[in-house]
Structure 1
Amino acid sequence: MSEGRTAPLIAAKQVVPPVRPGAVRRARLHAPLLANAWSRLSVVVAPAGWGKTTLLSQWAHDPAETRCVVWVSLDEADDDPVRFWTYVLSALQRDVAGLGPAALRALSTPGLEPVDLALPTLLNELATVDGAYVLVLDDYHLVGSAAVHEGVEFLLSYLPPALRVVIAGRSDPPLPLARLRARGELTELRAAELGFRVDEAAALLTAVGETPVEPSAATVLTERTEGWAAGLQLAALTIRHAERPAEAAARLDGGDRHILDYLSLEVVDRLAPDHRDLLVRASVLERLSGPLCDAALDRTGSAAALESLDRADLFVTALDPRREWYRCHRLFRDVLLRRLAADPDARTRVLARAADWFLERGYVAEAVAHRIAAGDEGGAADLLRSQVPAFLERGELAVHLQLGRRLPAATVLRDPRLCVSLAWAAGLSGRFAWMGPWLDAAEKTIDDDSPTPEGWHTLRGAVATLRGVEYSIARADMEAALAAASEGCRLECDPAVAGYVMARTVLGAVLGLYGRPDEAVRVLDGVWNTARAIGLPPLLGLQAASIQAMVLGETGRTDQLRRLLAEVGPVVRAAQDRWGSATSPGIARLRTVEGELAHRDGDLAAAATLLRRAADLARTFGEPVAHVTALTALAQVELDGHDRAAARAVLAEARDVVDNEPVAPLTVRRLEAVEHRAGRTAVRDARRAGALVEELTDREQAILRALGGDATQREIGAALHLSINTVKGYTKILYRKLGVGSREDAVREGRALGLI
């Protein structure tokens, strides 16, 4: 991710909002937040206008709060796991002393879900840091992604003492609140607590209305608004501007419809024309800045206008101390949007110009989202189709896919290039099961006049190549994969484009898995050099090099293999510098080949180290063939080192993968051959300690019970309403706690301990 391109928006969303001048400090509400050291989670839940953000901002600035408060303001665009955790992890990395960049780098690694590596890495690092921290997630109700909620639940399940979490929103977050409440690990502030009391209301009315308020008037207004902060602020504005303040305030009855009507008639109409024009037309934008508003509204002076509105307490709030970014209170924005609804063309123009402003600054995802909001599905599709390299370079393929899913189905399905683009992004990000439907749609609309997608020589060649990936990995149908990959290689004949390298990489991989490595060597000859010559991104180049290395090793071409490994070494190191230990699936294969080469050279210790690393990488990426291949090679090393128990443990893990994922038949046969050599008739005996060292969480217990049945991990996830990656994340920790390496071991140990 290019830090220079994303810093302004990240900074605005990751700063504790400044306390508004004259804001009423409510110590009674600070107290439960200050005392939440034992609460894993605090929730501040109430409808719009109850002062949630204001309260949390004041508490965060309270000198009595000695912990460091890490703040993330959320919006609708954060409804994507990678984007959401990018903001959270970058904020934590900046503010938490001793926290390194490893988690954030893992998050940007193509092909990984946050629960695969980024969140476990974060938790491990948090367990070692000194100090105390609080993470605030404001406006959490705007996030609807089940994957995001699963990740937050995962974080809360293993939260170390150094960190506590506060979530603010209009509704309860879909998290295990009842479980946390029963354990005394939940603090709750709701509308009943947030409502202003009479003394607090009097202070607010006096501060905003700029004139003292009689206690009786404060009592009446508090009763009429039921302590609703937004209603009281309206009453204060009434007092400020009305000729007869008491009479004007008396008209306020607290009803939502009346409040909105009042905002429209009294507040908006009283604005200076320049300010009213800015706010009404900019209401379609989630966040506002001077340069953005100038560009989107085709005007000047927006920065000064926003600063003036903020100073006047007119429902515009600064998001950062430098007052570069602002947002409207959501109730106020609703009124403004109702005004703008009368001029839909103006709305479209603003969004279109905003999209251009974001694109000029390299914010491709924001540009696509604004074009979708503007109704420019064609323009959004063009950007998505042409910007796969940009998303790939930033590790934002998941964002690319999410934006594609936001487009109307008709727009996607009638554009075969966009279908190919989305299928390609799905394959590169490890979502192989998503590839099939988009490739099906592309095949239905391809004709001889179909334009060529970016990075490919022909549209049909792209589809055939990607089919080879889908058939081999998502379905383990090697015959169909071979036919598709061969056709892709025939059609992708231009060595100046990425498709040439992709097609030969896929065909070489399929031939290798089909048991024809000599043919694979011929297909892959020169592909790595071509990838370097045309400047392919490291992810694609390493894929090509790793497949070539594997087939060279299988055919005994060790001299060529050593030369290739020497050439690819600098690229591997550069990838590790960028992505940390996660790197890419290609490096898992390269480490496997290096381990097998060390084994062949007789260095069992080096071979075991390399192959364990390869297995770790493959395990992280969830690539079953690479995972099983690394484990099978490691078992061979353990057997040659006369550690039969270690070999059986490794083979048990490999068998677990084969039983739960589609794996090429040749890979399975190789595993069976090593199992036979090990004399494996059952997995190793489960470790019996009589008790667990660490207690299982509720999720781990549910998964352990499910493992005792016949359901696959994917089916277990569906039954528990969890993604397959989240199930795998919990399962890894479950295995560690039980001291086992496979499903069968886990079930046996669980039964021995009376857990199932």
Structure 2
Amino acid sequence: MSETTIEPPLLAPSSVSRPALMARLDAASKLRLVLVAAPAGAGKTSLLTQWFRQRRQRRTVAWLTLDGPLSGPQALAARLLASLAAAGVQPASAPAAESAAPVLQGLLAQRSGELLIVIDDVHHAQDARCLALLDALLAACAPGVHWVLSGRCVPALNLPAWRLRDQLEVLDGGDLAFDAAQVVQLGRKLMAEPLSRAQAERLLETTQGWTAGVKLGLLALAARPHEAGGLDAALGDFDGGHVDLAAYLQREVLSEQDAPMQEFLVSTSVVDAMTGELCDALLGRDGAQAVLEKLERSQLFVAAQDSHGLTFRYHPLFLGFLRSRLAADPARQRALHARASHWYAAQLRFAEALTHAFQSGEPAWCAELMERAAARWQQSGDIAEVVRWCERLPRQQLLARPALGVTFTTCLVLCRRFDEARAMLRHLAADPATHEGAPFGFHLRTLQQILQALLGEPAALVDEAPAADESDGDAQLRGLQLVNRAYALFCAHRFDAAWRLAMRAREILQPISPYGEGYASSLLALVERAKGDFGSAARRVEALWSGARNGPRNAAWANAATALAVLRYETNRLPEARALCEELLPLVEAGGTYETLVAATRTLARVHAAEHEPEAAMRLLDYLHGVLGGSHERRFAAQVGFDKVRLWLAIDEPVRARDCAAEFGIGDGSEWRETRPYDEAWERRGMAHAALLSHAQRLDEARAVLQVLRGSAEAAGHVLRLHAIEAALASNLWEAGTRDEALQCLHRSLLRARGHAPSRSWFDDNPRFHEVLVAALQVPTMRRLMPEHVLRVFGAALGRGEARPAHAVDALTARELEVLALLAQGLSNQQISARAQISLTTVKWHVKNIFAKLGVGTRVGALVRARALRLV
């Protein structure tokens, strides 16, 4: 018998080339069974049509499309026999209707040669007897018979048996989903205005590659390209409620379900993620888990989110469609939100509970729930969540619940939103309900004291005994008051008093508030670093991180991660510092304090600068500059000002460095002519001024400023800053030619550090500091002050632990060697920028580093030294 191909029904294909799927189908069609199971509109029939039209190997094919439910297995057998007859495969005599199944089974068992049987829309054959017939045919047919079953669900066949024999291939909705390139390709066919890659990815995110969704989305975009906003506006409007998409889903999906299933689908769309227990609570009946599993098996736009099948989500477009149907009944919608809110509250999932509570139209329940959530969130450190949700409540609701008002005010204070906290305190103090039957007078006084501490008012700088009215119920607020007064004492450089208060606060907060304990521990580490007890501070930070690292990403975690990031940077573990900061920043930008935001952002900027990415570093510093512009945080602003001036000088932009200094109020230097009581903002600005003077080779003037700063830091006992000043002073003396004095200055710092020096910032803040340290390694008494781990960490700058010159080959990075080779060709900075495809600013940065590492000040000197070392 000659081989014959019966073409499938003529359908409109997707018009998109899909060679990978074609190849996969070609290979799979040699197995016993291929299943194509995907939701309506996934392009199953179009894919198979396209495959038949493009395939190279032709063979006998029987194609059966089931256009509705079958009456039983004999009807299925009769339809299959008719399809086989049309393909030229038929029994010797026509069978009676009641014997179609046995005849079909015998025909397929005796078949010789290759035969492919395709059943499209096989979901219409879900009757148990029809499935039993298909199982029997699959088991009995000859080896050359292959099957492709395509439909909206995975049929309940004996699939494990074929999987064990490696005779089964399954293509699901994920396999059929479009990718961005295919969306762009289809867009060219359906739209006059081409779709950009970014727009295609945005549409892909909305549709998850579902074929019907992609096509309807493109058609919707094609209808609106010239409206205001163009394609981007149309993309924002396309969702499950779009008229064409909603009509398709109503006709092809929802109307195909019975009334109880329709109710289930629409009602459960009120939540983002479904569990069986949650759906039972929403519907007021049991059995939802079985329904969810059935929906997933039926490919009804439901997917499990975990390997155990406990949590499920609807496809985004289907979810939007169902919610548009639910919105038509507002009373039902509010009732479902209320049920969801109460269920989430019972699970202590307060964010989800509040989301639904505010949509339930029950303000009293919102306030009650917020009071319960706020108390827990404040303890765990989710202070930004407290503020965010309390701001949604009317002021009257906050004042009607004094405990909630106090918690809200406390979190406003901890977020450094002082003006709003003061206003809330005034409202609480003026409301008579605040003082009825509870010690709210204590709460209000304590909050006022915390405000005074954070604003640095003198009344907060007294190391007082515990308040007489302190009680167990007020322990958390009292602990926060102590830790914030300790912070104020730290900012005033009264380190011993700050340490004692922080220790007392930690003892109070440890059993009741992870956030409070972490805050106190972070402050203790800051105090110990300032006092020069670097070993104790490092151990405390490591312990803090060990306890917080696997916890929720909240303020307590941010405090620990920030402290560790700073420690990792200073010990030259730059990749770890970078990873921590990049994870930190979205969190602290959304709801952190100035302390964590500045520390994390500055640390990441310094890592970028150390890794020769000055533009990225400057972007971060510019961002911080903008954030701090409207605040009263002088200390943090001065830190950012110093970093920006230093970075401009590092990339050899002295004019911009001077402009930046003027912007931060750094004038002619008169304020650093004599010692004054230590103030960190004053000291940081003085360090920036000294850096400007040193860059201009006004070394004597720079040294005079540094000596004044050293005297103030030494008098205050601020060892950490004293080290930074002495590193700058040692570099200044070295550059001035007084090398013995430079070594003596460094020797004092190493003695004081007790094996915990140098720090990475010493190198980054002082371009020639590595030369001083390399010379120090040749002095046995100084080398012994630096343990082996320090030599390993700073190996590149120190000649890898040996007393080798800092300009050895391994001190230059690969990019610096590339720039050096271009310098040797006589190219200008602009030409190097074009040749190496890097920015002009980055070229200047690399040239500056090359000069420093080779110990030269000119291009000619660099080339002479590089040739002597055989680098070029």
Say whether the fold is shared (TM-score over 0.5): no
Larger radius of gyration: 2
TM-score under structure 1 length normalisation: 0.45
Which structure has more RCO (C-alpha within 8 Å, separation ≥ 6)? Answer: 1
TM-score under structure 2 length normalisation: 0.40
